[in-house]
Amino acid sequence: MDSIKSCYLKEFNAEITNIEDDLIELDQTLFYPIGGGQDWDQGILKINNKEINVLEVKGRETITHLVESNHNLEMGQKIQGSIDWERRYAHMKMHTAQHLISAVVYDLFDGVRTVGNQIRHDRSRIDFNPISFDEEMLTELVTETNERIKRGAELQVKTMSRDEINEIMPPERTNMDLVPPHVENLRVVVIGDNLDLCPCAGTHIQNISEIGEIEFLGKKSKGKGTQRFSYTLK
């Protein structure tokens, strides 16, 4: 999504450009494909008063929409797409919460890195390294994260160069050292006054106050100093 506001769009018009069995390509789409640890959007394609379920969405340059069988769609047809808003908004809040939790962990525990995540609509997880959470640390993490949510902070999307990002945040916090060297300009999601700054192509909310409250679900050792923190929202 090119801006935070565009994440809130729910409907669009498009034309079918390619069909391979149950995989549909459109000339434009609002459906977010799986990627960056975030699950895909679901929803429907409407044509001639018929609604066809979109089950899964994949790709980057070319985005394919897996639809239910026996769809009877044809090349060149005009469709109206509609996003499953409840699922999309849950992903937006969950993904923004992941950015915030990662920032809090980095700040509280001496620069601990985020080394993986999985964003789902009902529960999500983040892998941190190097760390071994005890109960006191977990309580501090959840309390501090929820305090920041209550205070609120707006989000914005920027396009920034590697040098601009590295001037604001250490490369290990933004994982810039993992970005291929030939990539110079990146889409960056910024929370507040650089409360967090992270290259990301996912969907997000306009203000962290929309998250509500995070709830800790559990931790799990993933070996070599890595621990998985699982959470949901309430």
pLDDT, residue 1, reads: 58
Query: Please, which pLDDT band fits residue 2 given cuts at 50, 70 and 90?
Result: low
Question: How many Cα atoms are found within 13 Å in the side-chain-facing hemisphere of 74?
Answer: 3
Question: How many Cα atoms are found within 13 Å in the side-chain-facing hemisphere of 56?
Answer: 8
Which domains does the chain possess? 9-83 (2.40.30.130), 89-233 (3.30.980.10)
| Cα(138)–Cα(145) distance, integer angstroms | 11
CA-nearest of 63, 61, 81, 50 to 24 is 63
Question: How many Cα atoms are found within 13 Å in the side-chain-facing hemisphere of 17?
Answer: 11
| Cα(96)–Cα(128) distance, integer angstroms | 17
% of the chain beyond a pLDDT of 90? 89
What's the predicted TM-score (pTM) here? 0.95
pLDDT, residue 101, reads: 98
Higher pLDDT among residues 49 and 14, named by residue: 14
pLDDT in tens, 47-90: 988 999 999 999 988 999 999 988 999 999 999 999 999 999 99
Name residues whose C-beta falls within 8 Å of residue 136's C-beta, 6 or more positions apart in sequence: none
pLDDT, residue 34, reads: 97
| Cα(163)–Cα(187) distance, integer angstroms | 13
pLDDT in tens, 108-162: 999 999 999 999 999 999 999 999 999 999 999 999 999 999 999 999 999 999 9
- Give yes or no for a contact between 225 and 23, defined as CB atoms under 8 angstroms apart: no
Backbone angles phi, psi at 111, to 5 degrees: 75, 30
Between strands 185-191 and 155-161, the pairing is: antiparallel
